[in-house]
Structure 1
Amino acid sequence: MVVILFFLLLFTNFLATTQQGHSSISLGSSLTPTGNSSWLSPSGLHGFGFYQRGNGFSLGVFIAGIPQKTVVWTANRDNPPLPGNVTLHLTGGGSLMLQSADSQEASIVTTSVPIAKASMFDSGNFVLYNSAEGIIWQSFRNATDTILPGQGLLAREELYSSVSETDQSTGNFRLTMQGDGNLVQYPKDAPYEGPYSYYSSSTPQNGDNVNVSLNLDVDGHLYLRNSTGFIIKDLTPGGNSTEETFYLMRIDSDGIFRLYSFTLNQSNLSAIWASSADKCSPKGLCGVNRYCVQNDQEIGFGCQCLPGFAISGEGSRISGSCQKNFSTESCESKDGNIMYTIERVTNTIWEDSSYSIVSLPNNEECEKACLEDCICEAAMFKDGKCKKQKLPLRFGRKLNDESNIALIKVGVEDKRSKKERREDLVII
């Protein structure tokens, strides 16, 4: 614990002393979405304040020096968009407070002591101070989906993807700087366990030296460093141009984290490195009962429903799920009009949530075993193992692996039983 606190102190001091110019925001200052909407850093590169979100507004830190605002930190990201008649106050009492038109108030950040002043740094860090000019809160230590040069991701800190580039609500994926020294990616709601990860830096550390951080330098150097300052892994080599070129790292809505560059005359960021070239590698990219298929189109992947399933409601390309498009009956029913067959989905892998594993010689026997099992809704067959599962199926993706077959139980209407029932009718 002492080592962790010492490392955090060193890192905080480093941030405070190495950041470039900063603007000072005094108590009594205020912002509105439609008036003075942001507090800019001295260079005008970064700003803190309101930005457009759909038909409303959100609060956060954004790159203000390029034509299209790029959000790098969001306050209360899962709250609904704000209306245009709210006001942000840095109050005389030392609070950062949002006030609605009917005088309702809500705190933006929680601090242990009153705020004495705020600063917006050219580095993109928004900082709050106490009366002794000590840092009591900073956006760099409360990251959402992005890290900037000089920021870093400390041990046991996480980034969560956004829903989309225009909706900074919490998305489906997380990037975790684990306490064991590994940088790992998981689906948002999955356990912190190996079978659920889809990216790992493979940098486990032993003994006391486990306080590893993810760092980004101004030249695009992205790397892992331990608490002694030793670089244990380079993710990108760095050495890129810094002349009017800036860098950031973000975990995107598709679950892949990327290093981006931009210049002040660009309208968009340019990806110069990605954690994976396989667009289908993030587990859960396509929602439940769907599987991801790579393609050559610009998006790079597509999502397909299981046989006998259809996209539910207004399901999206990424997060939408598929539901059965056939009716189901109790498996104890004796007089139902639904019969079942097996549809094969080859070359796919899924989460292993099997409730029964049976050794069988081939997939035909596995199909039979699932059909004869009342509660079996799907089975995975590979290398002589038949794994029976219930729905929903998660984390599906297409692979060039012919040995793995998903067997899906699909209901079809039994025409014969309907005909027999019609012939049994007696009209009086």
Structure 2
Amino acid sequence: MVVARRRYTVYFLATFLALLKASLLLANGKAFAYPSIAKPLGTWINNNSDSNWDTEELTLKPILVNGDFVCGFHCKLEENNNCLFAISIFHFVSNSYTNLKMVWSANRNNHVGGGAKLLLSQQGDLTLQDVDSTLVWSTKTAGKFVSGLKLTDQGNLLLFDGNNEIIWQSFDHPTDCLVLGQSLVSGQKLKSNFSTTEWSEGLYSLLIDNRGLFVASVESDASLVYCLSPCSPLKSTTGQFYAEFTNTSLGDGLYPGLGVSFIQLGSDGHLRSFRWVESEWKEVYDLLEDQVRQCDYPLACGEYGICSASGCNCPEPDENETTHFKLINPDQPSLGCSPYVPISCKSHLLEINNVSSFTIFWLDNCYITDIESCKQACLKNCSCLEVDTFYNISVFLKVSSSTVRKRRQNVGVILGSTLRATFSVLLICTFLLLQIKEDPKDAEEDYLGHISGTSTRFAYEELKDITNNFSNKLGEGGFGCVFQGTLADGTQVAVKCLDGFGPGKKSFIAEVETIGSIHHFNLVGLVGFCAEKLQMHLVYKYMCNGSLDQWIYCRDKLLVLGWQCRRKIILDIAKGLTYLHEGCKQKIVHLDIKPQNILLDENFNAMVSDFGLSKLVGREQSQIVTTMRGTPGYMAPEWLNSTITEKVDVYSFGIVVLEILCGRKNVDRSLPEEDAHLVRLFKRMTEDGELLDLVDKYNEEMQSHAAEVVEMMKVAACCLQVEYARRPSMSIVVNFLEGKMDDENKYNFSNPPAPVEVETLGHQTDTATLIPSVLSGPR
């Protein structure tokens, strides 16, 4: 009886509050005089009426409204034939709808006009027809027993059946935005608008690939990737990766900021989050800012534009001081440049030196022969506009041979963009050159000639036999999948299959050159490789216990690692890095040390793997300048200046040591905000003298050796110093771990300062002395 009364009381209060809220909303005006659900046999016509919502940019005829979302016909002002059936998020302020922000549309590439109809048929199909009854868009759900159409308070438009099961939903068909609570699933794409004023699809897309990586690319050619970012997504029961947009993150790799309502892929390729501030939607965070420099965005400076730290400009004059290009608008240099004389087949190539990044690769296969052949091929092809040399040393841009005016221009030398016209002819260029190409086997041999220190070479058919036609998948690496196989002598191997274009090919070259000629017990051995046309594979010794992350984050008591095992793993990693930094003819900086790249054999010996991002450094070089690479959360602060030493590996090692000792991820969004970042928590616990609380709580042996574990944490603290010169070398770390420190090799491991928090890619923390690039804005 008491329970029944309580239930009745709760029900009464809930009903009263709902009615009160509805009354308040109705009092605010016509914004809330619309239903959120419609039944079949519904028809809505796009016409002018007193109930339309007029803003400074468009007229909206509402159909369904729920919370802060409205769906209906959106028409541009004075353009009655430029209308979309769409969903917008809004804030109703003083009878004003000036703050509508479109977050989904059905017909962005096929606009309708006045008199267009939206129909929900008795058969369950939702269709959009233009004024002449032409079918423009459909959910294709006829015959699926649809009971109604609903707009949820999260902004999801859905069709449901008699059991309230979802038949179709707009969340499965995103356009350029994600709203709070929505997930991006592998197989789906965000596609930008063409411009801030043009609603049709634009140049850029963002997706999650089958490796669980965010991939931002030029939509007309998915191989033109300008951002490849780990997102640590979840895997659904169907095996698909997905990244949920929550209050604090998109997946577990991109951070939109607090209080945001939606994320939008802009017409400039930037991925931005927005929240309501006072009376308008304001940008909170550029989610790719830490991973993509401004000059790395395609068309950052428009057609023919050159992007540099000083801004946008046109290519410099040639050796004869002939100027070929001019700014379209000197007051808006980001609009790009135009040639003084139209480019024709009678052209020559203008060389632009010292290029550090180039968005468009004209014919990716050019560098497998020689640059002169590529230049000549380009000059013979009227569609070709530019040639990129191997590793982006310089760019050759096609210009007219006609005499034009001469003028000196003081411009930068980083070519960050090129013609949109190039996008449509890249495949044609590739096809034509492949037709006149030499025998593929000869080209392949030329390509392999660039690789030094190679091991056993396998034929592709051999690898199919070894892996039983690639049937036993072990996992997914940075640029492809990994399969288990068995050699003829019974040796177990792991075969990594790399993508044939772009980063995959460079990763292949880097790995073979780096580890094909070096041998160390704590480095994964390369057994051999395969390179046939676009087939690129690396064959490694098989490590039966997989990667370290599968063990240190695990909560299964049967799989946890004890203190002595973890201590040895730390020493093994240190020895492997010492060999890379000091034991090779050329210093090797790994650049991607993380638990996923530490593999364990049957005896839990740890070996460093995945050299796809590594960098060879001459012994005489104290520092190198290179493009940013690595995994967010493990990258040293000096990456923000792109000038690095081998001490970036020491910093990453420090993060890994903390993860091993604490039994948790560097960033764990399931924890309260103040504890989510391990380095930030480590700093606080160090200052408060509470490091014992950080020792892995799920392992009894770790708890019983807590004092020793805390001493090991001091090694991590030394490795995490902001100033790289204050970090110990890996050989000093090894000596300390082995108890071999002497007076000539002193380093203060006994009482290191707490690591100062800085902002590294993907994570924002605080520090007393921040470098200018950190202070430039929210990350």
Alignment TM-score > 0.5, same fold: yes
1:109-165 deviations in Å (ceiling 9; x for gaps):
222525321111111111111344321111111111111111111123221111123
In structure 2, distance between residues paired with 1:71 and 1:117: 23
Question: Which residue of the partner structure matches residue 84 of structure 1?
Answer: 114
Question: Cα 1:285–1:190, aligned 2, differ >3 Å: closer, same or farther?
Answer: farther
Partner of 1:17: none
Per-residue deviation at 1:108? 3.3
On the 8 A contact 1:53/1:167 being kept in 2, the answer is no
Q: Which is worse superposed, 55-64 or 126-135?
A: 126-135
TM-score by length of structure 1 reads 0.64
TM-score, normalised on structure 2? 0.38
The answer on 1:252 being equivalent to 2:266 is yes
Cα shift readout 1:245-293 (whole Å, capped 9, x = no counterpart): x521111111111121115x52333333431263332235556644444
Is the Cα contact below 8 Å between 1:327 and 1:411 reproduced in 2?
yes
> Across the two proteins, how many residue pairs are aligned to each other?
336
- Note if contact 1:161-1:173 (Cα within 8 Å) is conserved in structure 2: yes
RMSD between superposed Cα atoms in Å = 4.3
Per the alignment, residue 161 of structure 2 pairs with 130
Partner Cα distance (2:104, 2:73) in 1: 12
Match of 1:216 in 2: 245
The structure 1 residue matched to 2:147, chosen from 87, 111, 116, is: 116
Aligned partners of 2:399 and 2:345: how far apart in 1? 12
- 5 Å-filtered alignment, 1:1-400, equals 23-31=36-44, 32-35=46-49, 37-43=61-67, 45-53=68-76, 55=79, 56-65=82-91, 67-79=98-110, 81-111=111-141, 113-192=144-223, 196-202=224-230, 211-217=240-246, 219=247, 221-224=248-251, 233-236=252-255, 240-241=258-259, 246-263=260-277, 265-276=278-289, 278-285=293-300, 289-293=304-308, 302=312, 304=314, 308-309=324-325, 325-326=341-342, 328=344, 342=350, 344=352, 346-347=354-355, 349-350=357-358, 351-353=360-362, 375-377=377-379, 391-393=384-386
SS of residue in 1 equivalent to 2:250: strand
- Within a 5 Å distance, the mapping from 1:417-428 to structure 2 comes to none
CA contact (8 A) 1:286 1:318 kept: yes
Task: Measure, in 2, the Cα distance between the counterparts of 1:207 and 1:148.
Answer: 20
Q: Higher Cα Rg: structure 1 or 2?
A: 2
Inter-partner Cα distance in structure 2 for 1:205 and 1:274: 16
Q: Secondary structure of the equivalent of 1:137?
A: strand
> 3-state DSSP class of the match of 2:155?
coil
For 1:117, give the aligned amino acid.
Answer: G
CA distance in 2 between partners of 1:48 and 1:72 (Å): 10
8 Å CA contact 1:286, 1:395 repeated in 2: no
Query: Are residues 57 and 357 of structure 1, via their aligned partners in 2, closer, same or farther at CA, if it must alter by over 3 Å?
Result: closer
The Cα shift of 1:26 comes to 1.7
Residue 358 of structure 1 deviates from its aligned partner by 9.7
**2:179, 2:245 within 8 Å by CA — same for their partners in 1?**
yes
Q: Which has the higher strand share?
A: 1
Specify whether residues 410 and 178 from structure 1 end up closer, same or farther in structure 2 by C-alpha distance, changes over 3 A only: closer
Contact 1:356 1:389 survives alignment (8 Å): no
1:68 to 1:345, Cα distance in 2 relative to 1, 3 A: farther
- Quote the sequence identity (%): 19
In structure 2, give the amino acid aligned to 1:49. Answer: G
Q: Report how far residue 211 of structure 1 moved.
A: 3.9
Distance 1:308 1:99, change over 3 A: same
Q: Which residue identity lines up with residue 64 of structure 2 in the other structure?
A: L
Tell me if 1:405 matches 2:397: no
Tell me what 1:423 maps to. Answer: none
* Structure 1 runs (4+) greater than 6 angstroms displaced: 204-210, 316-321
Paired residues of 1:198 and 1:281 also in contact (CA < 8 A): yes
Q: Offset of 1:65 from its aligned partner? A: 2.4
More helix by share: 2
Q: Distance in 2 between matches of 1:276 and 1:303?
A: 22
Given that 1:33 and 1:51 are in contact with CA atoms closer than 8 Å, whether structure 2 keeps it comes out as no
- Secondary structure at the counterpart of residue 349 of structure 1: coil
| Aligned-residue offset at 1:405 | 3.2
Measure the CA separation in 2 of the matches of 1:29 and 1:148: 27
Secondary structure of 1:51's partner? Answer: strand
For the residue of structure 2 that corresponds to 1:140, the secondary structure is helix
- Does the residue aligned with 1:269 lie in a helix, a strand or coil? strand
SS in 1 for 2:71: strand
Q: Which moved more, 1:270-279 or 1:119-128?
A: 270-279
Secondary structure at the counterpart of residue 280 of structure 1: helix
Equivalent pair of 2:256/2:273 in contact (CA under 8 Å): no
Query: Match of 2:623?
Result: none
- Distance verdict in 2 for CA 1:119–1:405, change over 3 Å: same
